[in-house]
Structure 1
Amino acid sequence: MLTVHRAEQAGCLVEALADTLSQPLADPMRTEIVAVPERGVERWLRQQLSLRLGTSCGGDGIAANIAFDSPSFLLRQVLDGVSDDPEAAESWFADRLRWPVLRVVDGHIDDPVLRVLATHLGTGDARADRGRRLSTASTIAALFTSYGWQRPTMIAEWASGSDTDGAGGELAEHLRWQPWLWRLVREEVGHPHLAEQLPVVVDRLRADADAVDLPERLSLFGATRIPQTLRSVLAALSERREVGLYLPHPSPELWSAVQTAGPQRSGRLRAERRPVRVRHPLLASLSRDVQELQEVLAPAVGATRHHSAEHRRPATLLGALQDGIRRDDPGRPAEGEGLDPGADGSVEVHACHGPQRQVEVLRDRLLHLFDADPTLEPRDVLIMCPDVEAYAPLIGGVFGQSSRVGDHPAFSLRVRLADRGIRAQNAVLDVLARVLDLAAGRVRAGDLLDLAATEPVRRRFGFTDDDVDTITGWVQRSGIRWGVDETQRRRFGLGGFPQGTVRTGLDRILLGVVAEEAENEWLATALPLSGIDSTDTDLAGRFAEFAERLTTLLETVSEPHASGQWLRTMIHAADLLTHTDSETEWQRAQAVGMLTDALSVPEGTPESELELADMRDLMAQLLIARPTRSNFCTGELTVCSMVPMRSVPHRVIVVLGMDSGQYPRAGAVDGDDILQVAPMVGERNVRDEDRQVFLDAICAATEHLLVFYTGADALTGARTPPAVVVSELLDAVRGVLGLGVGDPVPVLYRHTLHAFDERNFVDDGSGPFSYDAALLPGARALSALTRCRERGPALPVIADERLPRAPGDADVDLDELISFLAAPVEGHARQRLGVGLPEQADEHRDELAVELDGLERWGVGNRYLDALLSGADPHAAQGAELRRGSLPPFAFGTREFGPICDKAQAVATAAHGYRDDSADAVDVRVVLPDGRRVYGTVGDVFAGRLVPVSYSRLGPKHRLAAWIRLLAIRAGSDRDVAEAVVVGSASGRYPSAKVSRIRTPDDAGDLLAVLVAIRDAGLTAPIGLTLDAAVAAASEFGRSGDPAKARRRAEWAYKKSYGDQNRYAGLVFHGDPGAAVGFETMAAAVPQPEALSSVAGLLPGDDATDMYIRLAAALFGSLLAHEEDR
């Protein structure tokens, strides 16, 4: 007999099942069979039964000799036992069916009936991607399997030659290719489909109890949907056996309402179904799955038993909500008067600013629950999430799983991510999938480095963290962009340009072991890479071995192979690139096992040829999440997707990530799926399934139900609605509390944008919400700043502080002096405060640029200029640059390189006229009036000249640096240097050089003392000088002597040179590196006269002159007076 056991709580069903199993089978050695829909349910059920079954009065902790199989496995057992040819039934399951489908599609793709399929596969189009063959065959096989599982009557009609939908209708014209193809697949398989044999199988099971080797009692636990084929088999088995269905059902009133509605025609379309009238909105919107299951089971059910827990008065909001669902009463319960949800906390909905904040709020809320109830343990909490993969890294970080840095109390919680995708768990499979992806793509440098950094690859080649960093630097400096070699690039129309490929970059690295890049010597197309130490020789060899093995594999997998050869190739790839130790060897075994199962074909069956794209699709199917029983109910705080632990009761159930549009799933109709085009009652609907799962979660929570969603945009703050089911939950709570439709719901909590918001640390009587002590100082600082803003005064910034003078006996490094005076505001931050802003990240580009940006153009020109100045042959220097891989390909590179060479040649030609001797370096030691020394070394001295040369446009920075070095040589050495000749490029359309000749002054010591005094003052407080504005002011003041004109000229130059965008000025004067700083702010930042009292008589101008102008003239006045431009 088929008996349905139903209960609102799965715990009551466990008691009923335990009572059943406590009665031994006739054969005590016979294994009990309990079919379960999910592995999480299996683990929980096994543990619960072990607490109830035993040799004494139960609770021995042992539940043995029970097989917890899936319903599909149970069906396979029945078919294997009943069928005369078990292999025939196995041939029709999806994992085996893809191969005959693929062979049939390949053999008949030119038939007019399959023209839609041929268009999809791109048959006859040389430009089309033929890699969709296996993916398409797998999809068709899955459809055929689903048809046989859910609508066997349609398959039986197809077998008889009818093109019908199994519901009494004819198929639409665009779907008739499916029965035509199915009949060809049946011929290829050579065995009848289960649907054809189902009447015979059912009759045999009904007539003969020994037709199948199963015990006299079968149980199916926790299902909310049972496909038609399994229903037919279970009904037949129940004629000779005891079959028990243990179904979680939310409401006895709903069950009665479906029964009262009366029997409806079997095999009817869902559109013909009469909706059941219920009062509770959650039952009306979320329970269609269990309603339809009850309807389709009704003809076969022999008895129904309701197992109800002892009814108690609903003392909490959650209890009242569940009681209303049970009684089908959406209103406020009579015994619920005085219900206070604000102090209850049994139902909470948290609106947060994005996924990260959801997890942070969840962490603190759980800690509050653990503190409030010492009996609550992590095992009592279940976190369900529609998208585990997206939230897994956030959970790992927030709960301290990825790093235990810090002392947050949540770091002591043990968290188990139960059903992540297998790619996240099996690193060997991840490596193999990456190899296939690389072969299908362009082999980008970033992807290559990502592969090298995976754990199995690192173990195989001995790469440490430092090694990976070193290799990353090599890849960037060697110019590797994308492509294995020139041959592979031909696929993308770039044959003949090997620069930037892995092969060329690797040659550069290996040549760098024995030669220097600066020597401009190359071998074939490779230029040695500089900076490879002798200690890195072994690493270079290991990286070369890795790249060589990968290159060989990429060539192999890029070609089509038979399925058996693909299996051998993938195993060989795992051996070449990965290594596993005793703790991870299971990963290789699992990878090999899964690939073997996926690629093996029955003996005697021809192997299909698969292309690379087919293998990628097959690998993608293998990497779908597969929860294992060992990951559930481990005593840790469990995080899983929505289905594996559905209906399993927990004291605290958390539903995370219930954002609008994310849940329920969209459920778009697949136009090729006949079951979705015309669905029948009892067939799968993903949106109804998701809704039912959410209802199960509501009913499974015994003490607390916490729901989290993104309730506001993290950037704009605009509020966003939750998932529809969450809105329905809030409406139901309104009904329990007797609130109106528009009334605010007291269980909805809206959280702050940041965890460090001061409101998270305010004691509301039950303690602060946040447990993060590390964020408390930040919250206090934020609170102080907020109060400052409310009071009105401007917030303090760096420029407001006057620091004490730097130690007076500190000598001055010449290079530091030059660096400071070139950018006084930045110098104050760096040299006195030790504050440096991070530079813009110069990420390595994987693509080949068709034009160079300004910095890249300067790098090429500067290297070429250095080569020319060192006396290298121009053609050799150009050849070295071409082999460096820094130029765009083909004509793009020629277009860029030509003007660069012309400009560098013009600068070099101009410089050669003054560099008529070998270069020399001069050590300088200048004794200042206060006893300190300015010390350093000045290079680029040729005979009696200082001749610095730069590819950059000759500007104030280069001239000032040369001037200061010239002063230091004159005042601090016995070397006779008459002038500085500064050579750089000239601005303008045509490439040319610009030369500035600066004569050596007689009062070099005094001038240098003034510059040191300015630096001393600038270390005490920031000085708002920029070089462009300063030289403009000094020039005008020297010409006209009018400080007002000089100031206007400085302002014009400041704006023209975008001085207001100086990041250090923004930091110092406004506390924000991105803030614009006006000229008046900068010009007002000058030292007080007493700060320069030691050199007061040496400053240009008088006491009435604007100090800004006097400082500008001190920097550039004498320079301009001794300068001659050419």
Structure 2
Amino acid sequence: MPQIYSSYHLEQLCQTLASHLQEPPADVFAKEVIITQSAGMESWLKHGLTSRNTILANFSFQNQDGFLAEIHQLLFGERPKNNHDSLKYGLYDLLADPAFAEAFPDVAAYYAGDSLRRFQLAGKIADLFDQYQLYRPEMVSGWNQGTRSAQNEAEAWQMWLWQTLHIEARAEIRDRIFRKMDEEEALIRNIFPSVSLFGITVYTNFHLEFFRKLALITRVRFYVCLPTDLQPYENDLLLAFGTKAAELAGMFDLSGFTPVENPANTSLARLQNQILTNKTTFSGSVDDTIQASACYTPAREVECLYNYLLDLLDKDRSLNPADILVMATDIDKYAPYVRAVFHNAPVSIPFQVSGASATSDDTIVAALGLILRFGDDDFTSEKVVSLLEQKRISQRFGIGDTGYIRSVVRNANIRFGLENRKEDDTVYVGWKYGLDKILLGYAMLTDEEFPISEDLALYPFKDTEASASYDLFRLKHFVETLHSVTAAQSEERSLADWKNWMFAEVIDPMVYHDDFSKDDRTELTSIYRSLAYTDRLDYGHSVPFRVFLAELDKRLFAEPRTIRLNTGRVTVSSPVPVRGIPFRVVCFLGLDNGVFPRQDRFQGYDLLGEEYRAGDRSKKEADKYLFLDTLMAARERLYLSYTGLSVRDNTPIPPSIALDILFQYLGEPDLAVRQPLHGFSPQYQPENQRLFTYLYGGETGEFLTAGDSPEPFSSVSVYSFVKFFENPVAWYFNNILGIHYEVTDDTLPETELITPDGLLKWQVKKEMAGIIKQEELEAYRTRCIREGLLPLKSLGQVTFDQYNEEIAGIREGLRGLAGDTPERAVAIDLDIDGMRISGPVGRVFDRDYLALALSKSKEKEWTRAFLQSLLLFAAGSIDRARMIQHDGNILELPVFGKSDARTRIGSLLDFFRRGMEQPLKFSLAATRPPAGKPFDTAWVMSALQTQAKGNDYGLPPDPYMEVLLNERYFDPLTETDLEDIRQVAVLLNLNELP
């Protein structure tokens, strides 16, 4: 008979097992078999046994099905053929059988013509067949006899599939093993002298019968972890969460149960002891050994967790990070927040994320998944560049600056498609055309049109940087390699051939892996092992790529990564792999209403859903038992967290029913601390024992003052000098504080241009305004369409004609004033009062400066033209300056001698220097009151408010001005401030503007 050892104290069970392992074996070469249910328990047990026995050698960790298959291999020379893969692919073929479609047309209609749906259904039915054999063996036995247990359509077509498969049922395999075991007792006893089953919480009758039969031949020991041995349950938590625990207890003789009480005088210890002794109610108050937080978001949950852990580590110097376990209901959702918060925190707490899916980190599998999910329809600019930005992919292709690649793709007007069609002009936004343009720009230093075929020409991309040019060749190689992968997806191959293709054509050429890295070698080995079954599978038929990808999704991409315990760091994991493992501090995140415990949902054809029986699988009951294990596993402290407050309206959100039951049991329905929305909330105070934070300091954002001004500018560009006087407030935020409120979207455009934005429209119209000859204008239109400055095809022509009409007055005025005189740009380089002003100024025709005012903003256009002409006069480069307005009217700009111009610039520089120290209280919008309005404080403040908020006549809001107004920066607006506005307006000659 098997030997049974039970306790709620896992360390006690580990010590018992360690003592048993010290017994001298009959055969020193025979392996000790230890069966566990999770990788986390295996890892913890290895460490526990090694620390107790000093050494752990010649052992084999397995799961229940794996050991059963090994026994089959020993007795029959092969593993059982009734495995999930054989079932799944057998069903995949059977579902395509015309006989099935004829007998069950409604079922066949679900997947008709869709191989992926057929494969997914085959996988679900294979799972059900596996469960039926464990939980409804009498039904499967009836099917073998042609008898249905219920008269419904779902059972009819499933029985047809089962009978047609001719698969040996698990029960038949078990009976055959039993008969062979009776014949080979000596062999089994010699190979497996001792088998230990440790910490398993789920047994089926099928497996228990096998191990009880095995116990008649060799030594079998069960180490069962249970919250208590006392029945029936009277404790409220046992009644609420202990359904599965009671089922497990009913399978064993618990006469040898070892109760180990928690000796501490804390609320957590009392809670555990009352569960252990099956007491009905909780006694005493709740201290800080049990804490809970209600937060607004998962990110705030992690921030509050960090504060909690750092406070513990600070107060208890005996506590180490390795003593802490953090579980999250959805580890893939919480892991990025954990990394972001803990990596950027002011005090480092070492941590290790375990159990997240293989695609949730910078891994070979993550890169592989991104590539294999990429299809022919995904060749848009953003999707291709985003794929290339994956670290392992960019490393493999040797591309160091993906930001540069992104900017080149944007500027080269690559948007979607590989080649596209010339007939609708989409060829100009495809990858082939764009890459040809980029590489020709590197090879040919020309701005002229270049033919690449009989009916296609391009303008070489001229902004290629020599230092990064090789990255552009690598980009081309990447796109071509990616295309070869997507082209192969239309083929059909056997599973083994798809596996070999993946290694040879995807992983090797596209994903970086270091042969000298242990982690990389381990991951590659894991990938190969995950798909090694394809070489053994008795299924040589070809399958579409979609089927192979679905297989990878289940076996590779969704599989959790290796569970790592005992790393010396805080362990962050999903709950199942670490359930019941004791830690001094246990934290549980994501205990949200509707998330935990999970709900049992059955497909309409799932015959298990028709009736629940004791021992059946239940996600809800399994999660409740897991929560009970969590309560018992925390040795000193328990921390629970959930999203309990609405970001939208601040209303409370109820927690998980498991938390609610716990709070009620403790007599503390409001146990959870309501954490503020932001980590920098003023609610956090050092003296508050319940609300505290280590993540944010007490600094406030204030404007720089004269006492702490930045290093003064000794030089400024012409562009920056002009922009300052156009909007000194925005200039201060941008250039001194480094703050930019403009929304910048780095996402690359993935569709053709339909409506150009204001900046693009201004850029094209500005260039058009300077083109006088009609043939040059037509050539510029063609170029704009090819380079993405105008919409494609006829819409581009319509848009261009509209622009031409809008600037007709400017073009006519320029033609009349400039004639055939060529335009030139003057390089300004002035040193005035210790400030160097340098940069180009264009629109100079011989000795005449002609500014073009494309917008209707008179003050802004005048200021720009006036300042540029003033710099030209100071440089002695012009004799006259005029501004052509959008309607064709011509304004004369003031004429200055070199000395007067330098004096005027010097006066403006005084205000410029003041505007470097703090925002200059000046705005072009507040310089010229309308007729009948006095220039006073009330009008100026009204003008500033309008600038900040915008209006219904096309004036956009100014977020920089809005910030200053909200900060009451202009309160009070003094007479000195008004005089400064008047003086700057005079220096800019705004009084001469009509």
TM-score (ref. length: structure 1): 0.78
- Partner AA of 1:292 in structure 2: E
Q: What SS does the corresponding residue of 1:914 show, helix, strand or coil?
A: helix
Seen in structure 2, the aligned counterparts of structure 1 residues 920 and 350 have a Cα distance that, compared at 3 Å, is closer
Seen in structure 2, the aligned counterparts of structure 1 residues 681 and 108 have a Cα distance that, compared at 3 Å, is farther
Seen in structure 2, the aligned counterparts of structure 1 residues 857 and 617 have a Cα distance that, compared at 3 Å, is farther
**2:469 pairs with 519, 532, 537, which one?**
537
- Partner AA of 1:722 in structure 2: P
Q: Partner of 1:730 in structure 2?
A: 663
Q: Partner of 2:273 in structure 1?
A: 323
Q: What SS does the corresponding residue of 1:247 show, helix, strand or coil?
A: strand
Q: Partner of 2:152 in structure 1?
A: 172
**Contact 1:959/1:982 (<8 A) preserved:** no
**Contact 1:861/1:951 (<8 A) preserved:** no
- Matched residues in 2 for 1:63 and 1:803: separation? 68
**2:66 pairs with 60, 66, 73, which one?**
73
**Contact 1:350/1:709 (<8 A) preserved:** yes
**Contact 2:418/2:432 (<8 A) preserved:** yes
- Matched residues in 2 for 1:144 and 1:537: separation? 58
Q: 1:26: how far off?
A: 3.8
Q: 1:918: how far off?
A: 1.6
- Matched residues in 2 for 1:909 and 1:999: separation? 19
For residues 480-505 of structure 1, give each alpha carbon's deviation from its aligned partner in whole angstroms, at most 9, with x where no partner exists.
Answer: 22333328x9xxxx987223322222
- Matched residues in 2 for 1:1051 and 1:455: separation? 47
Q: Aligned pair 1:102/2:112, yes or no?
A: no
Seen in structure 2, the aligned counterparts of structure 1 residues 807 and 250 have a Cα distance that, compared at 3 Å, is closer
Q: Partner of 2:479 in structure 1?
A: 547
Q: Partner of 2:351 in structure 1?
A: 415
**1:753 pairs with 677, 682, 697, which one?**
677
- Matched residues in 1 for 2:939 and 2:991: separation? 16
Q: Aligned pair 1:996/2:931, yes or no?
A: no
Structure-to-structure mapping, 1:148-163, within 5 angstroms: 148-163=133-148
Q: Partner of 1:167 in structure 2?
A: none
Q: Partner of 1:47 in structure 2?
A: 47
Q: Partner of 1:776 in structure 2?
A: 697
- Partner AA of 2:469 in structure 1: T
Q: What SS does the corresponding residue of 2:223 show, helix, strand or coil?
A: strand
Q: Partner of 1:1067 in structure 2?
A: 963
Q: Aligned pair 1:294/2:230, yes or no?
A: no
Gaps of 5+ in 1: 53-58, 124-128, 165-169, 258-277, 334-338, 735-742, 783-795, 987-993, 1093-1106, 1122-1126
Identity %: 21
**Contact 2:764/2:789 (<8 A) preserved:** no
Q: Partner of 2:305 in structure 1?
A: 362
- Matched residues in 2 for 1:30 and 1:803: separation? 81
- Partner AA of 1:331 in structure 2: T
Q: Partner of 2:237 in structure 1?
A: 282
- Matched residues in 2 for 1:2 and 1:433: separation? 46
Seen in structure 2, the aligned counterparts of structure 1 residues 288 and 959 have a Cα distance that, compared at 3 Å, is same
- Matched residues in 1 for 2:582 and 2:94: separation? 48
For residues 216-267 of structure 1, give each alpha carbon's deviation from its aligned partner in whole angstroms, at most 9, with x where no partner exists.
Answer: 54322112221232123223323444433221111222xx32xxxxxxxxxx
Q: 1:316: how far off?
A: 1.2
Which region of structure 1 is more displaced relative to structure 2, 70-79 or 866-875?
866-875
Q: What SS does the corresponding residue of 1:1068 show, helix, strand or coil?
A: helix
Q: Aligned pair 1:479/2:413, yes or no?
A: yes
Q: What SS does the corresponding residue of 1:219 show, helix, strand or coil?
A: strand
Structure-to-structure mapping, 1:677-716, within 5 angstroms: 677-714=610-647, 716=649
Q: Partner of 1:1097 in structure 2?
A: none
**Contact 1:558/1:612 (<8 A) preserved:** no
Q: Partner of 2:521 in structure 1?
A: 586
**Contact 1:1025/1:1082 (<8 A) preserved:** no
Q: What SS does the corresponding residue of 1:755 show, helix, strand or coil?
A: coil
- Matched residues in 2 for 1:638 and 1:995: separation? 74
**Contact 1:513/1:532 (<8 A) preserved:** yes
Q: Aligned pair 1:391/2:334, yes or no?
A: yes
Q: 1:513: how far off?
A: 0.5
For residues 529-552 of structure 1, give each alpha carbon's deviation from its aligned partner in whole angstroms, at most 9, with x where no partner exists.
Answer: 221033333222222222221122
- Matched residues in 2 for 1:955 and 1:332: separation? 78
Structure-to-structure mapping, 1:191-590, within 5 angstroms: 191-202=167-178, 205=181, 209-210=185-186, 212=188, 215-253=192-230, 256-257=231-232, 278-295=233-250, 297=251, 303-311=253-261, 315-333=265-283, 339=284, 341-342=286-287, 345-400=288-343, 408-409=346-347, 411=348, 413-424=349-360, 427-439=363-375, 441-464=377-400, 467-486=401-420, 497-515=426-444, 518-521=447-450, 523=452, 524=456, 526-572=458-504, 573-581=506-514, 582-583=516-517, 585-586=520-521, 589-590=524-525
- Matched residues in 2 for 1:668 and 1:501: separation? 46
**Contact 1:109/1:117 (<8 A) preserved:** no
Q: What SS does the corresponding residue of 1:651 show, helix, strand or coil?
A: strand
- Matched residues in 2 for 1:598 and 1:869: separation? 73
- Matched residues in 2 for 1:696 and 1:1045: separation? 70
- Matched residues in 2 for 1:872 and 1:1083: separation? 58
- Matched residues in 2 for 1:755 and 1:1049: separation? 36
**Contact 1:574/1:588 (<8 A) preserved:** no
Seen in structure 2, the aligned counterparts of structure 1 residues 1112 and 428 have a Cα distance that, compared at 3 Å, is same
Seen in structure 2, the aligned counterparts of structure 1 residues 85 and 27 have a Cα distance that, compared at 3 Å, is closer
**Contact 2:229/2:257 (<8 A) preserved:** no
Which region of structure 1 is more displaced relative to structure 2, 97-106 or 367-376?
367-376
Structure-to-structure mapping, 1:841-990, within 5 angstroms: 841-849=744-752, 851-855=754-758, 857-858=760-761, 861-862=764-765, 865=768, 868=771, 873-889=776-792, 893=796, 895-903=798-806, 907-916=810-819, 917-921=821-825, 938-943=841-846, 945-949=848-852, 951-953=854-856, 955-967=858-870, 969=872, 973=876, 975-977=878-880, 979-984=881-886, 986=887
Q: Partner of 1:819 in structure 2?
A: 723
Seen in structure 2, the aligned counterparts of structure 1 residues 563 and 499 have a Cα distance that, compared at 3 Å, is farther
**Contact 1:40/1:633 (<8 A) preserved:** no
- Matched residues in 2 for 1:873 and 1:232: separation? 90
Seen in structure 2, the aligned counterparts of structure 1 residues 99 and 812 have a Cα distance that, compared at 3 Å, is closer
**Contact 2:32/2:58 (<8 A) preserved:** yes
Q: What SS does the corresponding residue of 2:131 show, helix, strand or coil?
A: helix
- Matched residues in 2 for 1:359 and 1:959: separation? 54
For residues 106-141 of structure 1, give each alpha carbon's deviation from its aligned partner in whole angstroms, at most 9, with x where no partner exists.
Answer: 234861344344333243xxxxx5433333322222
Q: What SS does the corresponding residue of 1:1064 show, helix, strand or coil?
A: helix
Q: What SS does the corresponding residue of 1:668 show, helix, strand or coil?
A: coil
Q: Aligned pair 1:18/2:15, yes or no?
A: no
Q: What SS does the corresponding residue of 2:635 show, helix, strand or coil?
A: strand
- Matched residues in 2 for 1:807 and 1:46: separation? 61
Q: 1:687: how far off?
A: 0.9
- Partner AA of 1:138 in structure 2: G
Q: 1:995: how far off?
A: 3.4
- Matched residues in 2 for 1:21 and 1:80: separation? 26
TM-score (ref. length: structure 2): 0.88
Q: What SS does the corresponding residue of 1:707 show, helix, strand or coil?
A: strand
**1:185 pairs with 150, 165, 168, which one?**
165
**Contact 2:393/2:511 (<8 A) preserved:** yes
- Matched residues in 2 for 1:222 and 1:445: separation? 52
**Contact 1:964/1:1008 (<8 A) preserved:** no
**Contact 1:559/1:612 (<8 A) preserved:** no
**Contact 2:530/2:555 (<8 A) preserved:** no
Q: 1:512: how far off?
A: 1.5
Q: What SS does the corresponding residue of 2:255 show, helix, strand or coil?
A: strand
Which region of structure 1 is more displaced relative to structure 2, 207-216 or 138-147?
207-216
**1:145 pairs with 119, 130, 155, which one?**
130
